[in-house]
A and B are shown apart, each in its own frame.
Chain A
Amino acid sequence: MVDTVVQNLISGSLMGCIYALIALGLSVIYGVMNVVNFAHGDFVMLSMYFTFWASTWLGIDAVGTPLFTFPLLFFIGLLTYYAIVDRTLRQHYVTQIAVTVGLQLFLRAFAQIAWHAQPRALSYSLIQGRIEIGNYTIILSRLISAVVSVLAIMAVYFFMNKTWPGRAMRAASDDLDAASLVGVNQRRTYAIAFGLGSALTAIAGGLLMTFQQVDPTMGVRFGLLSWCVLALAGLGSIPGMLVTGVIVGAAEALSMALWDPRARSLVVYLIFILVLWLRPRGLFGRK
């Protein structure tokens, strides 16, 4: 019993680091430009498929594919921003929901056309195998994925705090008018933020593909899941995102192991609803 709990806590927490990375992308988009993006999960789905393509066509390992998919997703993010999102900035959030749900349906249809609605998985990855520590097993691919996720999150933290574009994003998020006065180009900052938020899913997609398959309908789950992590953490705290990501991942693994595999998302969503009721600013929220 204790063994099961600890084992699942370990593997769930490792998975949670990837969730945190995905949610961080959403948080950059929502936090900086206050755009409600319902299609974020489908960007994850898309990057998983691109990983599949890059890996089977170019013959590189899933871990290496972000070299190609990161710029690609960044570009798609920019394109989405200039074509669609930019026009919804001054609109009601309801319009943003309608537009991004349309985008979600579109991406899903695109995946179904391009990959014929079949689940795709990669046959092998460099990082396979397991580490045994006492009674517990750690799957290597998950461990490395978690480490890479944490590194990527730290890189974003550094980018947000130390570089000019990152600071511009935070300034625009705090007070757009004041930021514009001191020379922040609103459109370009927003576009970079949207591109970065989307590109982060490329890293997550590459990591997920090392131990998971992808199908066109999985975007919805990742979308809602990343909103859960974001709501739990609250806006503006990047380390907090990591903590709540781990909470979500662990809750998911535990409810699968101790209750029922079908109850996977149940506990997470219940926590999500309760947190919205009781702590609307999240556990680590700034605003």
Chain B
Amino acid sequence: MKPKKLSVGMVSLLVGLAVALVVPLIIGSNQYNMVLVTTVLLYGVMATAWNVIGGMAGQMDLAAGAYLGLGAFTVGTLLIKWNISPWIGMILGGLVATGFAALVGYPLFRFGVTEVWYALSSSALVEVLRVLFLLWEDVGGPVEKYLPFHKWSLYHLRFSSYVPYYYIMLGLLLIALYANHRIARSKLGYYLLALGENEDAAEVLGVDARACKIKALMIYAFIVGVTGGVYACLYGFIHPNFFDGLQSTEVAILGIVGGMGITYGPLVAAILLVSGREFLRSNLSGQLESLYLAVYAAVLIVIALFKPRGIATLLQDAYKQILSRIQRDKNVQADTTNF
């Protein structure tokens, strides 16, 4: 039997993973840089998860912050009140987020809220949750609730260094990528692609659009909810501002400019844009505060205007070009050997 050939995607994934694994060895001593790379991964996880509902199912969900916050509050509250390990809390947080997604998603899809109205109502949802948690003083409230301090405890998921969080986030990213990959090649994935293209046509062909969209929403909510649990431990406190409308929108924008429906697209966008933004922030803000934000926003606009299908398509085009060049070279060789 011939050994299975490694695909280009697999090779680049392995190379990327190898690089990601050694990053803390290089910059691990600088905690500021570790926070930055962990933040980049955080956005990467959320944008990759968003790809399931936004990219594949074509629903402009702007509620990533809602699921992130729910996960964070589940983990934080369980740990503070009952000393339950975040490892358990994380899963529960994911389930809480999933349950909430189902609760909200059912009427949304049942009443046919689509396109911009779906986007706006999901955006409003984040704000609704933020205010509710602000008013619910037992769990939220206007004052930060700090997680118990531990110098190095795996049970409490509290470390005095950011390196472990980085690796946990990397693990979540792999899970999110794998989920994307599997869904894209499953029946659900094809259904989602079909209804993302044209919902009416897909329904005529027998796709249960509502059920598929809810499934996609729940998968996305679960991953983001689990991430929220890690987020709470990373920052060491919980606060209603975790329900951040602008951050949620940003996740969706990363998904869009990365390339909707392309598994690695949102990740590429997160890596390039978020790390670019943070680089600008630390280098530009000396002269003018917020200049980095203006540059970042301008880059977003330019990409969205001129590459509306996403920056991942640039990679795809480059790959195709290389392939065709190799093909041509082979043909030339074949020609010269024939004559």
* Residues of chain A whose beta carbon lies under 8 Å from any beta carbon of chain B: 36, 38, 84, 87-88, 91-95, 97-99, 101-106, 108-110, 112-113, 116-117, 220, 224, 227-228, 231, 260, 262-266, 269-270, 272-273, 276-278, 280
Contacts and interface: CB of A to CB of B under 8 A. Distances in A.
Contact of B116 (A93, A112, A266): A93
26 contacts: A84-B301, A88-B305, A91-B308, A94-B256, A94-B260, A95-B305, A97-B116, A97-B256, A98-B256, A101-B249, A101-B250, A101-B253, A101-B300, A102-B298, A102-B304, A104-B297, A105-B297, A105-B300, A106-B298, A113-B289, A262-B131, A266-B128, A266-B131, A272-B120, A273-B121, A280-B113
Given A112-B289, A265-B127, A97 B297 contact: no
B99 interface: no
What is the interface residue range for chain B against chain A? Answer: 35 or more
A36 B253 contact: no
A280 B115 CA distance: 12
Interface in B111-153: 111-113, 115-117, 119-121, 123-125, 127-128, 131-132, 134-135, 142
A111 B300 CA distance: 18
A99 B123 CA distance: 17
A268 to B, nearest CB: 9
Contacts of A106: 293-294, 297-298, 301
A112 B293 contact: yes
B135 A280 contact: no
B101 interface: no
B301 A109 contact: no
B296 interface: yes
B256 to A, nearest CB: 4
A280 B245 CA distance: 23
Secondary structure class of chain A's binding surface, majority of residues: helix
Contact of A110 (B115, B249, B294): B294
B142 to A, nearest CB: 8
A108 B268 CA distance: 25
A151 B284 CA distance: 46
Interface of B: 60, 107-108, 111-113, 115-117, 119-121, 123-125, 127-128, 131-132, 134-135, 142, 245-246, 249-250, 252-253, 256-257, 260, 288-291, 293-294, 296-298, 300-301, 304-305, 308
Contact of A269 (B124, B294, B305): B124
Interface centre among B60, B113, B120, B293 (most CB of A within 10 A): B120
Contacts of A273: 121, 124-125, 128
Contacts of A104: 297
A265 B121 contact: no
Contacts of A228: 124
Contacts of B290: 109, 112-113, 117
A93 B121 contact: no
A109 B297 contact: yes
A276 B111 contact: yes
A261 to B, nearest CB: 10
Contacts of A277: 107-108, 111, 113
A227 B297 contact: no
Nearest to B125: A273
Contact of B60 (A97, A112, A224): A97
Contact of A94 (B60, B113, B123, B297): B60
A103 B289 contact: no
Contacts of B123: 224
A97 B294 contact: no
Contacts of B298: 102, 106
Contacts of B294: 106, 109-110, 113
B121 A276 contact: yes
B249 to A, nearest CB: 6
A186 B84 CA distance: 62
B308 A95 contact: yes
B304 A95 contact: yes
A210 B186 CA distance: 58
Nearest to B107: A277
B60 A269 contact: no
Nearest to B292: A109
Given A112-B289, A266-B131, A269-B127, A95 B256 contact: yes
A265 B253 contact: no
B76 to A, nearest CB: 20
B35 to A, nearest CB: 22
A227 B116 CA distance: 10
Nearest to A87: B305
Contacts of B260: 94
B245 to A, nearest CB: 6
B144 to A, nearest CB: 16
Nearest to A38: B249
Contacts of A98: 253, 256-257, 300, 304
B131 A265 contact: yes
Contacts of A105: 293, 296-297, 300
A142 to B, nearest CB: 24
